[in-house]
Structures are given as structure tokens and as C-alpha cells.
């Protein structure tokens, strides 16, 4: 009962946080209630298609989405995430992916599905909570699987945003973070799949999807500037680690390897059992 009550208190706290949010890129939360053992959020209905549906249609037509259009969408998402991350305490979405982003008939993107939202206050451990789950594998960074150690921050949402941009421009679901950790070559460069993507955008995606949080930009706003830089200031290969780079990184981030191996073992078990 104590654990259940604690979880319910956390849910109330998170619902209260969401109810205070007011941004054109977010659905408005109007109510929160409990029914037996389940908690529910009441949000505005958001019309339109989600971006995964748009990607699917584009693939069916054997074409790629226009880069300029997609970058316009990224601007909207960056605005929304910058707003969330600037709250006191900061709010992390933790499940950014094409299926959780809707394009309304008037061209506005809405970030939906806040089932994994997390108010983040490093000075108050009681706020370091989240609902069950760790996001969606192709879009979640490794550190999100060790959330109880407090590793997630705004850079975790940035990883998911970069993975979403990768999916939008290539039409391919990105390799998961643990697969990339064990096999760095498992994520083909964007331009190898879609040569029409500009080099600066391709490198910005790689930077956002860097396996280690310390190798990503510190904020969504900083990454947005890089994304729109006419002359890429990134060294070629930024955001990617070669096989020779892993040993030094592992000494500093042993927990990343532990998570990757644990997830790989779990995937193997589910496949053969």
C-alpha cells in the first residue's frame, strides 16, 4: 500500500505539473482523476495525423520528406522542448518519437502522450520521479534506462529529438542506443540513405544522437543553432564514436555498457522463450 500510495502521489504531482503548462505546441490538460487503480489525464483532443503516419505514407510513395519542411517542424519542436526544459523544475518528456507528435490541419505540431513525463529538480530527490517505462527503444538514450540514478536531463530529450529527425529524413527507424553502443556501425549516416540531406543537418543529427550525454549539446536551443548553421562548425564524424574511441569512454561511463548488455540479454531471452 505504501508503494502504491507513493506512486499515486507521484502521478498527482506530475498531473499538477502538466496542468500548469501553457504552450501552443502542447495539448492543454484540463483534468486529472483516479478510477479504481488507474489514474487518468484529460487533455484537449488534437486533430490531424501523427508524424509516423506521414512517414509511412511517404515511404509508400517511394519518396523522402522535404528537408526544409522537416526543419520547420524541428523549429516548432525545439520551441516546445525549450519551454518544457525552462520550467521550474524542468519538465522532461522522455518519449519523443514520430508517433507522439501530431500535425494539426493548420500546420502546428503538438507533442502528445505525456505518460513518461518527469519533473526534474536536482536539488530535491522527491521530484526525481517518473511513470513506469523508459521510452521507446529506437528513440531512447541509454541513460534513460538508469533513470533511478538520476542520469536523465534535457540532453536525453535531445537524443530522442535527433532520432526523430533521423527517422523523418530517412524513412528508416533508427537503430536503438544499446545496439549502437555494441555495434557503432548499426546506424548508417543520414546522407547514405538520403543524399539530398545537407551535410550540416546530417552532422547535427549525429551530434544529438551521441551515445554519451556529455557529447551532446547542453540544450535544445544550442542544438537548434547548430542545426541551422549555414556552415557546419562540427568536425566530420561529430557525435559518432569509432571502435577505437570506446575504451576511454567506457572507463568514464561503465554504466552505459552495463545497461546495453542487460538490454541485449533481455532481448535475447524474449526472442528465444
Q: What is the pLDDT of residue 181?
A: 85
Percent pLDDT > 90 in the chain is: 52
**pLDDT tens-digit readout, 52-97:** 999 999 999 999 999 999 999 999 999 999 999 999 888 889 899 9
Q: Give domain limits for the chain.
A: 47-272
Instruction: pLDDT band for 231, please (50, 70, 90 cuts).
Output: very low
pTM over 0.75: yes
Q: What is the pLDDT of residue 242?
A: 38
Give the Cα separation of 107 and 55 in Å (integer). Answer: 16
Give the Cα separation of 125 and 120 in Å (integer). Answer: 9
Give one DSSP letter per residue of 23-43, joined into a string: -TTSPPEEEEEEETTEEEEEE
Q: What is the pLDDT of residue 245?
A: 44
3-state secondary structure of 129: coil
**What angle, 0 to 180 degrees and rounded to 10, lies between the N-to-C axes of helices 154-170 and 220-227?**
30
Judged against a pLDDT cut of 90, whether residue 145 lies above it is answered with no
Of 12 and 97, the one with more pLDDT = 97
Give the Cα separation of 13 and 255 in Å (integer). Answer: 29
| Residue 100, burial from CB neighbour count under 10 angstroms (0-12, 13-18, 19+) | buried
| Superfamily (CATH H level) for 47-272 | Transferase(Phosphotransferase) domain 1 (1.10.510.10)
Judged against a pLDDT cut of 90, whether residue 207 lies above it is answered with yes
**pLDDT tens-digit readout, 239-255:** 443 334 444 454 455 55
Give the Cα separation of 194 and 204 in Å (integer). Answer: 15
Amino acid at each position: 500500500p505504501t508503494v502504491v500510495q507513493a506512486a499515486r502521489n507521484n502521478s498527482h504531482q506530475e498531473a499538477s505539473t502538466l496542468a500548469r503548462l501553457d504552450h501552443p505546441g502542447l495539448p492543454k490538460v484540463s483534468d486529472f482523476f483516479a478510477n479504481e487503480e488507474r489514474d487518468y489525464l484529460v487533455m484537449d483532443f488534437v486533430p490531424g495525423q501523427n508524424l509516423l503516419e506521414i512517414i509511412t505514407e511517404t515511404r509508400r510513395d517511394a519518396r523522402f520528406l522535404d528537408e526544409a519542411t522537416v526543419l520547420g517542424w524541428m523549429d516548432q519542436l525545439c520551441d516546445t522542448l525549450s519551454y518544457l526544459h525552462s520550467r521550474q523544475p524542468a519538465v522532461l518528456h522522455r518519449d519523443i518519437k514520430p508517433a507522439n507528435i501530431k500535425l494539426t490541419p493548420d500546420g502546428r505540431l503538438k507533442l502528445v502522450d505525456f505518460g513518461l513525463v518527469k519533473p526534474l529538480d536536482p536539488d530535491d530527490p522527491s521530484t526525481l520521479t517518473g511513470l513506469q517505462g523508459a521510452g521507446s527503444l529506437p528513440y531512447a538514450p541509454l541513460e534513460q534506462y538508469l533513470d533511478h540514478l538520476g542520469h536523465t536531463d534535457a540532453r536525453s530529450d535531445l537524443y530522442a529529438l535527433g532520432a526523430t529527425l533521423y527517422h523523418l529524413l530517412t524513412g528508416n527507424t533508427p537503430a536503438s542506443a544499446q545496439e549502437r553502443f555494441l555495434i557503432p556501425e548499426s546506424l548508417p549516416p543520414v546522407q547514405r540513405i538520403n543524399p539530398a540531406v545537407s551535410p550540416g543537418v546530417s552532422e547535427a543529427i549525429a551530434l544529438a544522437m551521441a551515445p554519451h550525454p556529455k557529447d551532446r549539446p547542453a540544450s535544445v536551443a544550442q542544438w537548434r543553432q547548430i542545426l541551422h548553421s549555414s556552415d557546419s562548425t562540427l568536425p566530420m564524424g561529430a557525435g559518432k564514436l569509432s571502435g577505437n574511441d570506446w575504451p576511454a569512454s567506457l572507463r568514464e561511463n561503465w554504466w552505459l555498457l552495463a545497461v546495453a548488455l542487460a538490454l541485449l540479454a533481455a532481448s535475447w531471452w524474449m526472442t528465444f522463450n
